[in-house]
Amino acid sequence: MVYDAGLESRFTFTGIVGSNPTSAARMKKNLITPRNMLKYLLIASIILVSVLVFWQSKTVLNQKKNNILSNQERQGAMKISSLVFKNNSPIPAQYTCDGQNINPPLEVSDVPPETTSLALIVDDPDAPGGTFLHWLVWDIDPNNSKIEENSLPNGAVEGKTSFGKIGYGGPCPPSGEHHYFFKIYALDVKMGLATGSNLRDVKKALEGHILATSDLIGKYQRH
């Protein structure tokens, strides 16, 4: 008899596979085919994208946290005050519609050294028809940060208020006690807006240029 090695090998492989179909299926499943490769690449891509999204979200949150802390530090540095009323206290009647209706004296301290100009917004958020604008001033010289009684700093520009007029209009609440916010902004530019510009134009010009902010709150109730 002639020995046939090929016959033996064919017999052996067929015998093993044929006697254990589960093993054959497992072997076939574990083969690295183009289809399996695409599946593994897809899974790896999903994991990678998930990690990148998580990292980016964490970075954005940290940036927002730093911005909040930075804004708090800026707000805590600069200060606006008045000689005639303290924060959260009544505004004297002479600075209202019941008196001379002139602006109170104001002073800004601890202005950031890189400030180019100051802007002032005075409004009443308690007004029944929505926030009422009482005074709008910009391009105030930061080196002369005192606003005297019944005056406008040299070079400063005024806008139109909710009274429909240019210049200061004092508190004149229809009923109850209202709060009046004197908000000062330190800017890295001069706004250069025309006299009589409105609040919307001013707020748009403020965007991206605020170095520091502070506010002084006064109260008034007519008797």
Task: State pLDDT tens for residues 45-56.
Answer: 899 888 888 888
Q: Calculate mean pLDDT across residues 14-39.
A: 59
Predicted confidence (pLDDT) per residue in 56-79, tens digit:
877 766 665 555 444 444 445 899
Coil, strand or helix: which one is 185? strand
Q: Is 42 exposed, middle or buried (0-12, 13-18, 19+ CB in 10 A)?
A: exposed
pLDDT at residue 7 in the model: 42
Task: Please tell me the pTM assigned to this model.
Answer: 0.67
C-alpha span between 217 and 197 (Å, rounded):
24
Q: List the domain boundaries for the chain.
A: 78-220
C-alpha span between 14 and 139 (Å, rounded):
94
Determine how β-strand 157-158 pairs with β-strand 132-140.
Answer: antiparallel
Answer yes or no: CATH 3.30.499.10 is held by domain 78-220.
no
Residues 6+ apart with CB under 8 A from 52: none
